[in-house]
Amino acid sequence: MSKFLSCLLLAVAIISAPAQASENPAVADAVEGYMDFTEYGSSIIWPEQIPAEDWKKITVIDARDPAQFAKEHIPGAINIEWRKIPGRRAEITKDHMVVIYCNTGSLSAQSVFAMRLMGWDNVKVLQDGIEGWKRKGGFEANARASQTAGH
C-alpha cells in the first residue's frame, strides 16, 4: 500500500470514528506502514542543529495555548494550538522546514506525527520544546555553535 493511500485511510478513519480507531484494521495498517517507512529521528530536531541564521528560513509553530504564547515564545513563531494543527494544515507549507514546539516536546510531537501521516514530511518537533531551547541558550547558543563550526 502506498504511503499516500495509507495516510489517507488513516485520516479518514480517525476523523470518522476516533473512539473506535484502535479497533479499525485500516488505521492499524496505516500506522504500521508509516512506522515501517519512517526513518529513526526523521521527525525531530534539536535546537543546536539549527544555526541561528537558519531560524529565519524555517516556519516555527508554537503549539501551546494562546496565553502561554503571549507570555513568551520563540521570536518569529506563529501560534497554532497542537490539537488544531492538523485542521489548519492548509496554512502549513510543504516547501521548507517547519518546526513545531510546545513546552517540552510531548504535545507538539503528537501534532508532528499527525502531520507526517498526512504527508508533511518537512515537519519536525523541536526536541525538549521551548524549555530546552531556553536551557540551551536560545539563538545566542546557536550563533556560538555556528561560529565554532566555522559557519
Reported as a single tens digit per residue, the pLDDT across 88-135 is 999 999 999 999 999 998 899 999 989 988 889 899 999 999 999 998
Assess whether 85 and 26 both reside in one domain: no
pLDDT score of 81: 97
**Helices then strands (H, E): number in the chain?**
6, 5
CATH of the domain at 76: 3.40.250.10
Q: Which residues of 68-86 are buried (b: 16+ CB within 10 A; e: fewer)?
A: bbeeebbeebeebbbeebb
What domain range includes position 10? 1-37
Q: Which residue has the higher pLDDT, 26 or 6?
A: 26
Number of compact structural domains in the chain: 2
Question: Nearest to residue 120, comparing CAs of 34, 62, 51?
Answer: 34
Assess whether 16 and 49 both reside in one domain: no
Instruction: State whether residue 136 is helix, strand or coil.
Output: coil
Assess whether 86 and 136 both reside in one domain: yes
Q: How many residues does the chain have?
A: 151
Assess whether 73 and 30 both reside in one domain: no
Assess whether 86 and 113 both reside in one domain: yes
